[in-house]
């Protein structure tokens, strides 16, 4: 019954000249614009995170942490979490240091 009522109402609207459906616009163009904005925002957040972490990493290295694993252990001991709230690994420390080199 609901289907029949809906079809009748849409048919009546169409008979009055109402254009059914919506203008979806340029979805692909708008989507790619949003992707670029999102990537720029995430990149800025990552750069800020690197700037926050570098002083701690430098202190750890100055105090004798010579390997990436040792630096990760220092970050974990200090209670500094990764961006997603996890524990640090040597690979993640390497990625932070690599991002620093890329931005220099």
Per-residue pLDDT at 28 exceeds 80: no
pTM score above 0.75: no
Q: Supply 73's token pair.
A: 């252990």
Residues 4-8 have a mean pLDDT of: 94
CA distances from 19 to 7, 10, 14 (A): 15, 10, 7
Question: How many CB atoms sit inside 10 A of residue 12's CB?
Answer: 10
pLDDT of residue 10: 94
**What pLDDT band is residue 77 in, cutting at 50, 70 and 90?**
very high
- pLDDT for 57 equals 96
């Amino acid at each position: 019954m609901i289907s029949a009522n809906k079809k009748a109402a849409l048919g009546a609207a169409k008979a009055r000249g109402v254009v059914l459906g919506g203008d979806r616009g340029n979805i692909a163009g708008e989507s790619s614009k949003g992707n670029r904005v999102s990537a720029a925002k995430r990149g800025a957040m990552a750069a800020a995170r690197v700037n926050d972490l570098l002083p701690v990493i430098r202190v750890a290295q100055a105090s004798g942490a010579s390997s990436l694993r040792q630096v990760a252990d220092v970050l974990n001991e200090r209670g500094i979490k990764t961006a997603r709230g996890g524990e640090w690994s040597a690979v993640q420390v390497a990625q932070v240091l690599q991002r620093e080199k890329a931005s220099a």
